[in-house]
């Protein structure tokens, strides 16, 4: 009986410690901006940002990668309402937020999201 419990505990530990192959996207929404990661087929090294407003202002996603955790990066979408842009691939996105640019006023941003 002891051996059975040990094997069961070992299997449970391994199943919790090994990440799954399928990543679930995390979302950040702010006024007219929507950002998510993993993006583009579930790639945890990519982020996307969509412009959901018609105010004429661009939207952006600000994000950090695991391999360069001190460097804030910005993915801009200047393409207009209803469009989505994707970042290039890299190390896993550590945290991100979505922002609607407001020229001359503070940006409307979501809180930081950890995927």
| Strand 68-77 to 59-65 pairing | antiparallel
DSSP label at residue 2: H
pLDDT at 38: 95
pLDDT at 107: 93
pLDDT bin (cut points 50, 70, 90) of residue 16 is very low
pLDDT bin (cut points 50, 70, 90) of residue 47 is very high
- pTM of the predicted structure, to 2 decimals: 0.77
CA R_g for the chain: 19
Judge whether 93 and 37 are in contact, CB under 8 Å.
Answer: yes
């Amino acid at each position: 009986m002891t051996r059975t419990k040990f094997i069961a505990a070992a299997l449970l530990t391994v199943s919790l410690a090994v990440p799954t192959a399928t990543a679930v996207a995390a979302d950040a929404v702010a006024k007219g901006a929507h950002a998510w990661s993993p993006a583009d087929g579930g790639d945890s090294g990519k982020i996307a940002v969509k412009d959901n407003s018609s105010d004429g202002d661009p939207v952006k996603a600000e994000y950090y990668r695991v391999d360069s955790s001190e460097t804030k990066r910005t993915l801009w979408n200047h393409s207009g309402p209803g469009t989505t842009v994707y970042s290039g691939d890299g190390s896993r996105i550590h945290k991100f937020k979505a922002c609607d640019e407001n020229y001359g006023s503070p940006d409307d941003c979501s809180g930081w999201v950890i995927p």
